[in-house]
Chain A
């Protein structure tokens, strides 16, 4: 449990955040320059000008009224800045072990979780962007943090690398169970990873709640620079070489067909991503369509995202939530509104498979 009521002067506006966060993952969304990084630095104790109160798991980290200001080294935060911040003079293994206080078992587990076994002897200068992020994450985990602070760990990576890191993040979330603040521009990431989300604008919390509920916030369009994605966790069910498809069952039991990926073992966990604008809707049953994924469902909610509308849908089978981004014209023509039954169609090639 994290209780926050902090204030920090920034150049354009003050950062002023009062909120309480549960265990699990909190997504921090917001446009560039809205104070997201500053908020993480305040929590890490790296902003001496911060005032207010921070209580994490019953421990008071900051109480400027009472003169309490716990030094960064006594807060046990695992901070992963956007640029990874690896120590260039240390090898990967030494970087990971930097904050571990000699706990070799923890270091080994962190190395295994992030798949760094091959890289231990390398210096950071010889790592790719994705490898750096993984090392930084392992270093944070190995220091036995009470709170993980991740600052857009995927933002500086191109799409294919991003997709290769995401599964590691899921593993960290599910296996290590450390409370996490996860700053991102990507609404899909927040939906996939976070139980709770904050939307920051000009240093203030504009909205807070379940990530799905934030979709109705007017400020979200600005924050969602990378677009809105549907992300699903699932497992490989079968391969059909003749049809060129791999069948995946995602959470809740919804079957999804994607272009064949024969390298994946049956039962292997995968993450599927499909952009909200690639989801087609119809108000009549679909026949003679090439799309391999067609589901009956219902419109649950309609929210404005910039000039478009984002519809929240629920499939009848498995009650899976989907987001579809349509122009207001399309929504009007089909008379889509909450409660209307729809057919959802997605080409198998619109899915990207994140292993």
Chain B
């Protein structure tokens, strides 16, 4: 690989890792609320959250572009503070985060739903605040699903294309991620370079998912012993 290609790989990994990290707190909170909340509006909320999964990523990107551009109040407010999002690395971050969010939430929500609420109640009687009960009982028991969600979100962030290109463009050395670079090289007829980059994405996604599997299985072995 060329140094330019290595830089693209490093940039993609960095943005995906940062995005996933930033997603975890709000993602787990949303998942917990959806798992425990029983009331009006739940269906609408769930559907809204699932939308990015089924919409064309370019459509999501277009909406994001409109909301964040300097023409809107919010976009202008951000720009004044020097937090330009559109056509910067931050645009890549926001686009990949939005596309990854539902994957994390769905996986974690299912995992939280499977935790027996009686165990959480018992933890409370044993002196845990709601927050402590979450960290000592709910999260360790839902660990497998949460980890799977994090892995999916990270993998999705590695491969995001449509929303990213709408919000951040495809600027080599600035906003170009692996997915964008593959497209770019292929458009320029450099299929061999595109294949190298595609190989790298396969290896990264494989490593990420396999590590998740391995961690989960190691834990199952421990609990059964």
Contact = CB atoms under 8 A, between A and B. Distances in A.
Interface of A: 41, 44-46, 71-73, 75, 77-79, 81, 83, 85, 87-89, 98-99, 101, 123, 125-126, 139, 143
Given A89-B223, A125-B223, A99 B127 contact: yes
Nearest to B137: A87
Interface residues of B, number: 21
22 contacts: A44-B121, A45-B124, A46-B121, A71-B124, A72-B124, A73-B129, A78-B125, A83-B118, A85-B116, A85-B122, A87-B119, A87-B137, A88-B223, A89-B143, A89-B223, A98-B123, A98-B136, A99-B125, A99-B128, A101-B127, A123-B224, A139-B126
B140 interface: yes
B141 A88 contact: yes
Nearest to B222: A123
Nearest to A144: B127
A79 B122 contact: yes
Interface of B: 116, 118-119, 121-129, 132, 136-137, 140-141, 143, 223-225
Interface of B is mostly: helix
B84 to A, nearest CB: 45
A20 B123 CA distance: 27
A81 B118 CA distance: 9
B69 to A, nearest CB: 46
A89 B143 CA distance: 10
A85 B127 contact: no
A85 B124 contact: no
B224 A125 contact: yes
Contact of B118 (A71, A72, A85, A125): A85
Contact of B125 (A72, A87, A89, A126): A72
Given A85-B118, A87-B119, A88-B141, A73 B127 contact: yes
A72 B223 contact: no
B126 A123 contact: no
Given A72-B125, A85-B118, A89-B141, 5 more contacts: A88-B223, A89-B140, A98-B126, A99-B126, A123-B225
B124 to A, nearest CB: 4
A75 B141 contact: no
Nearest to B132: A73
Nearest to A124: B223
Nearest to A84: B122
B128 A73 contact: yes
B223 A77 contact: no
A72 B121 contact: yes
A143 B127 contact: yes
A98 B121 CA distance: 13
Nearest to A75: B125
A174 B223 CA distance: 35
A88 B94 CA distance: 38
A266 B220 CA distance: 47
Contacts of A143: 125-127
Contacts of A77: 125
Contacts of B225: 123, 126
A111 B19 CA distance: 46
B124 A73 contact: yes
Given A73-B129, A89-B223, A123-B223, A81 B124 contact: no
Contacts of B137: 87
Nearest to B122: A85
A85 B119 contact: yes
A80 to B, nearest CB: 9
